[in-house]
Amino acid sequence: MNIRILKDRTASGVMFFLTVISLLLVFVMGIGLYLKSAPVFEEHTLKELLFSANWKPMKGQFGFLPFIMGTIWVTGIAVAMALPIALLTAVFLTEYAKSYVRKYVFPALDILAALPSVIYGVWGTLLIVPWISNKLAPHFVDFSTGYTVLAGGIVLGIMILPLLVSLFIEIFSSVPAEFREASLSLGATKWQTTKFVIIRKTMPGILAAVVLAISRALGETIAVLMVCGNLPEVPRSLLDSCYPIPALIANNYGEMLSLPLYEAALMFAALILFVVVLFFNVISRVVLYRLEKTFN
Amino acid sequence: MKFFEEKIFRFLMIVATLVVFGFVISIIWTIASRGWGAMSWDMITKLPGGGFYIGKEGGFLNAIVGSLYIVGASTILGLLISIPVVFYLNVYLKKKSKFAYIARLAYDILFGIPSIVYGAFGFTIMIYLGLRTSLAGGIIVITLLIIPIFIRSMDEIAREFPRDILDTTYSLGATRYESMRVVLRQIAPGIATATLLSVGRAIGDAAAVMFTAGYTDSIPTSLSQPAATLPLAVFFQLSSPVKEVQDRAYAAALVLTLIVLILSIAGRFITNRFSKNKLQ
């Protein structure tokens, strides 16, 4: 008898330990990245690092503005492209489609979500980059390699589609059927019900899902590295090359060891990503949890 | 007027859904048609000859084996850590526990942190420990990367588990530890889908292993040697100017896509089977 209770207690202790250890990872990660990037703060102010466009690591100048702007551009295009498609698809699947349609679309979304980033990158270089370079860009500029902000945005947009659609579907199906019935019985069409009841009721959730998708897009590395062109300049148009933060980290991991300050600067880049993603995730998850509670 | 609007939006929705389908088909078709031409038996059975960047002979067996080592080891480690955590959250803690709420939030956040940050973090730890890019480093980082995926996707299933069944086992005199066997049997399909999901994520991740596992032409024989991985085999070889090397990249992309497709379809299959005989 005692042995059984002892086993139960031990198991409880071990499990609690494993849970706490894995939770601490969030803090350890933040602290580790901060300590590693600390040297760069000694020589530069935060303002200088974030808002200067001077990127000359060999001379000790680390202005992250080109990379920050590159990330914002690419992410912005990705969200602008993915949001309407994801919203329409999710409404179609939850409100309109028969179950056999879902049987085909869900596996397709699964596949889209499962494909590795490097495969998206290969697809982008084989299809999107030549298309921009040969078909699209000649209408606007004399010459473009195709490795542009736009290519990065398109590829990233497709990568965040499955996440957005599955979050939207989850959110929309949490709205109780009575809401829909009440609206339909007043003579509203299905689209009017969707527009005035479902979307309005779930607005915080939709925004949270978008923020979550943004934070996913911010961290994508290999795919944008392969299609964005990687020039450390602030992009001026959709057909300029850009250099998002994750690509910067991935591209320079070999060289950075030779210069201690360079390594610190790259760790600072990782820290920026970490902090922004952490912040976005906490907000949107808390909103989504709340939403789940209100309807249940 | 409102019926007109209805029709327009209905049309747009169908278009949007077809566009999603179109993307899937376009990606798979592009990878398959480009990769199939480059595919041969040598590709998956031979090591690259004369250096992976310039050598024209051989295949990418080094990357296949390296990926298998890393994914296999980190899946086992990940399961060993995450199954107890899921049990703790769902059996030991009460349904409305504050700690469970914070834990779930933290795992969701960890799930959202980009793999490049995991890579950079893993790299700093390895330097701190005096490790170089190695198989061990790759395994550690990929394990950290997939633990939140494991926990959250198993937790999703375990939360559905009816607490009445737990109460029944308690009333028969079982301890919480002993009633786990009942829970384990019930959520087994959930564990299987979570594993497939994690394996898919682990095998496709390039950014985390780039820093930590490195890249090499040979098959690692110990934990302290660097290891090649499939996504990096695609990424590095694609940037080579030599056509034969690029072909290796496309063939590796095809292999990677096929693996991920099989995992994804198998996961869906298990979920469907499972939901049919779910306890009500």
Q: Measured between alpha carbons, how far is A90 from A218 in angstroms, rounded to an integer?
A: 23
Which residues are CB-neighbours of A117 under 8 A, at least 6 positions away? A159, A220, A221, A222, A223, B204, B205, B206, B207, B231
Q: What is residue A162's predicted lDDT score, i.e. its pLDDT?
A: 93
Q: Domain for residue A272, yes or no?
A: yes
Q: Domain for residue A127, yes or no?
A: yes
Nearest to B256 among A19, A109, A116 (CB): A116
Q: What is residue B89's predicted lDDT score, i.e. its pLDDT?
A: 87
Q: Domain for residue B23, yes or no?
A: no
Q: Domain for residue A16, yes or no?
A: no
Q: Residue A163's domain spans which residues?
A: 49-295
Contact criterion met (CB < 8 Å) for A29 and B117: yes
Chain A CB within 8 Å of residue B251 CB: no
Please count the residue pairs, one from chain A and one from chain B, whose beta carbons lie less than 8 angstroms apart: 256
HSE at residue A17, side-chain half, CA atoms within 13 A, is 6
Contact criterion met (CB < 8 Å) for B125 and A32: yes
> Residue A188's closest chain B neighbor by CA?
B2
Question: Closest approach of chain B CAs to the CA of A13, in angstroms?
Answer: 10
Q: Domain for residue A21, yes or no?
A: no
Q: What is the pLDDT of residues A104-127, one digit of tens each?
A: 888 899 899 999 999 999 999 999
Q: Domain for residue A107, yes or no?
A: yes
> Residue B178's closest chain A neighbor by CA?
A8
> Residue A253's closest chain B neighbor by CA?
B211
Q: Residue B167's domain spans which residues?
A: 41-276
Chain A CB within 8 Å of residue B24 CB: yes
Q: What is residue A51's predicted lDDT score, i.e. its pLDDT?
A: 80
Q: Domain for residue B17, yes or no?
A: no
Q: Domain for residue A26, yes or no?
A: no
Q: Which residues pair with A233 in a beta bridge?
A: none
Q: Is B275 exposed, middle or buried (0-12, 13-18, 19+ CB in 10 A)?
A: exposed
Cα dihedral B163, B169, B170, B171 sign: positive
Q: What is the pLDDT of residues B226-262, one digit of tens each?
A: 888 899 888 888 888 888 888 888 999 999 999 999 9
Q: Indicate the residue type of A66.
A: P
Q: What is residue B279's predicted lDDT score, i.e. its pLDDT?
A: 46
Answer yes or no: is pLDDT of A296 > 70: no
Chain B CB within 8 Å of residue A209 CB: no
Mean pLDDT for all residues in chain A? 87
Contacts of B28 in chain A (CB under 8 A): 111
Rounded to the nearest 10°, the torsion over CA A281, A283, A285, A290 is: 180
Q: What is residue B245's predicted lDDT score, i.e. its pLDDT?
A: 84
Q: How far is CA A251 from CA A178, A191, A280, B218, in A?
A: 53, 47, 25, 23
Q: What is residue A167's predicted lDDT score, i.e. its pLDDT?
A: 92
Answer yes or no: is pLDDT of A81 > 90: yes
ipTM summary value: 0.89
* CATH code of the domain covering residue A85: 1.10.3720.10
> Residue B118's closest chain A neighbor by CA?
A29
* CATH code of the domain covering residue B194: 1.10.3720.10
Q: Indicate the residue type of A122.
A: V
Q: Measured between alpha carbons, how far is A239 from A140 in angstroms, rounded to an integer?
A: 9
Q: Domain for residue B236, yes or no?
A: yes
Confidence of residue A58 (pLDDT cuts 50, 70, 90): confident
Q: Measured between alpha carbons, how far is A26 from A285 in angstroms, rounded to an integer?
A: 15
Q: How far is CA B96 from CA A73, B91, B102, B203, B255, in A?
A: 41, 12, 11, 36, 45
Q: What is residue B71's predicted lDDT score, i.e. its pLDDT?
A: 94
Nearest to B115 among A218, A221, A289 (CB): A221
Query: Which carries the bigger pLDDT value, residue A171 or residue A232?
Result: A171
DSSP B50: S
Q: Measured between alpha carbons, how far is B92 from B80 in angstroms, rounded to an integer?
A: 18
The count of structural domains within chain B is: 1
Nearest to B9 by CA among A273, A280, A191, A257: A191
Residue ranges of chain B with per-residue pLDDT less than 70: 50-56, 274-280
Q: What is residue A254's predicted lDDT score, i.e. its pLDDT?
A: 64
Q: Domain for residue B36, yes or no?
A: no
Q: What is the pLDDT of residues A163-221, one digit of tens each?
A: 999 999 989 988 888 888 888 899 888 888 888 888 888 899 999 999 999 998 998 88
Answer yes or no: is pLDDT of A265 > 80: yes
Q: Domain for residue B168, yes or no?
A: yes
The count of structural domains within chain A is: 1
Rounded to the nearest 10°, the torsion over CA A222, A228, A233, A237 is: -150
The pTM of this model reads 0.90
Answer yes or no: is pLDDT of A234 > 90: no
Q: Domain for residue A167, yes or no?
A: yes
Q: Domain for residue A62, yes or no?
A: yes
Answer yes or no: is pLDDT of A132 > 90: no
A-proximal residues of B, 117-156, CB under 8 Å: 117, 119-121, 123-125, 144, 147, 151
Q: Indicate the residue type of B118.
A: Y
